[in-house]
Amino acid sequence: MSLQPSASRRSPDSLADVLERVLDKGVVIAGDIVVNVLDIELLTLKLRLFIASAETAREMGMDWWTRDPFFSSEAGRSVADGGGQERQEMEADRLRALEVENDDLRQRLAALESTARPELHGAESDRSGDPERADEPRRTDR
């Protein structure tokens, strides 16, 4: 599959890696040519919120989350027992950062849900007609 087979893949692509790339990146076409069956913006935002939970991250192969005491009760226990005050502080910092990020994402989500939806889909109502099939591709000259 690669142009240069000698350079092998470094690690299997976790689902999170794939989703982050295919949902969040790539060429975005907006406008009434596109059929908006899925609101990808919304899906991407929800996914980011979702990824912020440890269980989901673990399922999705983002195991660096689970190695951290903040997300892992297993590791967290040793922190509590050992007293590591500085670690607890770092976790509190991260918790605050996550809360801020989640608030931000939720606000954007709410804004999208309340305003973007009619704009995104309203333009489609006037488009109809037989969808032309691509089963027999033909060369179309400009």
Partner 1 sequence: MTPLNGVQGHDRRTGPADSADGRPASGLYVYALVPADSRLDLAETRGIGDARVHVLPHGDLTVVVSTVELTVLEEVNEEDLSESGVLATLARRHDEVIQAVFGQATVLPLRFGTLVRDRESAVQVAEQCRDQARDLFVRLEGRREWGVRLLRPDGAGTEGTPRVPEGSAPAPAESASQHPAQASTAGSSTSDRDHAAATDEADSGTAYLARRSAALKEREARRRHEERLVEGVETALAGYVAEALRRRPPSPPLLLDLAYLVDQDREPEFLAEVDEQAAAVTAEGLGLETTGPWPPYTFARLELSTSSP
Binders of partner 1 in range 85-104 (CB under 8 A): 85-87, 89-90, 94, 97-98, 101
DSSP string, 95-115: HHHHHHHHHHHHHHHHHIIII
End-to-end, the C-alpha distance of the chain in Å comes to 31
Residues 6+ apart with CB under 8 A from 30: none
Q: By rule CB under 8 A, what string of x and - marks binding of each residue 32-71 to partner 1?
A: xxxxxxxxx-xx--xx-xx-----x--xx---xx-xxx--
Give the C-alpha separation, 95 to 133, whole Å.
51
Contact residue for partner 1 among 73, 114, 119, 139 (CB under 8 A): 139
Nearer to partner 1, 40 or 108 (CB): 40
Among positions 73, 83, 114, 119, the unique one binding partner 1 when judged by CB under 8 A: 83
**Which residue from 23, 54, 105, 116 is in contact with partner 1, where contact means CB under 8 A?**
23
Candidates 59, 27, 41; CA nearest to 105 is 41
Shortest Å distance, C-beta 61 to partner 1: 9
Output 34 or 111, the one with its CB closest to partner 1: 34
Question: Which H/E stretch holds residue 118?
Answer: helix 117-122
Q: Is 20 in the site for partner 1 (CB under 8 A)?
A: yes
Count Cα atoms within 13 angstroms, Cβ side, for 140. 4
Closest separation between CB of residue 24 and partner 1, Å?
Answer: 8
Determine, following the binding rule CB under 8 A, whether residue 22 of this chain makes contact with partner 1.
yes
